[in-house]
Amino acid sequence: MHVYLDNAATTKVLPEVIEAMIPYYTEFYGNPSSFHSFARDAHKGLDDARRTVAKCLNAANPAEIYFTGGGSEGDNMILRGVAQAYRKKGNHIITSKIEHHAILHTAPRDPAYAQRTRG
Ligand SMILES: Cc1ncc(COP(=O)(O)O)c(C=O)c1O
């Protein structure tokens, strides 16, 4: 018997999720950022999903919910965004040795900020 212990990285998708996604793989697969009719249908699906996630998380506004293509993109967006937002309070990012490479490789590449590593 195999036991999968890396569910934080990837995980089995519930059958209900697969069923809910089928229309977006087969019919509404347009780029939601475009203007054609395929895009409008996909955009509506994305808006519906954003409202559902916002409700689950008790977010005040669905516009607070951002979907990213993966973990690295999310790490980059938050790390750079928070550093930029707080740049007047300090120009350094503290990481630890156990951070994912998406964090460790982003922090020192942002030329506006120095990195101090504590491990
Ligand atoms: C904290 C963290 N960042 C980034 C990633 C990488 O995610 P992706 O391959 O979707 O970019 C992972 C994957 O396990 C992660 O745990």
Q: Using one digit for the tens of pLDDT, what is the confidence trace for 43-83?
A: 999 999 999 999 999 999 999 999 999 999 999 999 989 88
pTM of the shown model:
0.76
pLDDT tier at 115, thresholds 50, 70, 90: very low
69 touches ligand 1 (CB under 6 Å): no
9 touches ligand 1 (CB under 6 Å): yes
8 touches ligand 1 (CB under 6 Å): yes
Max alpha carbon distance in the chain (Å)?
54
2: left (phi over 0), alpha (psi -120 to 50) or beta: beta
Among candidates 84, 119, 77, 81, which has minimal Cα distance to 98? 119
Among candidates 66, 76, 81, 73, which has minimal Cα distance to 103? 76
| Mean pLDDT of the 89-104 span | 87
Atom in ligand 1 nearest the alpha carbon of residue 9: 14
pLDDT tier at 110, thresholds 50, 70, 90: low
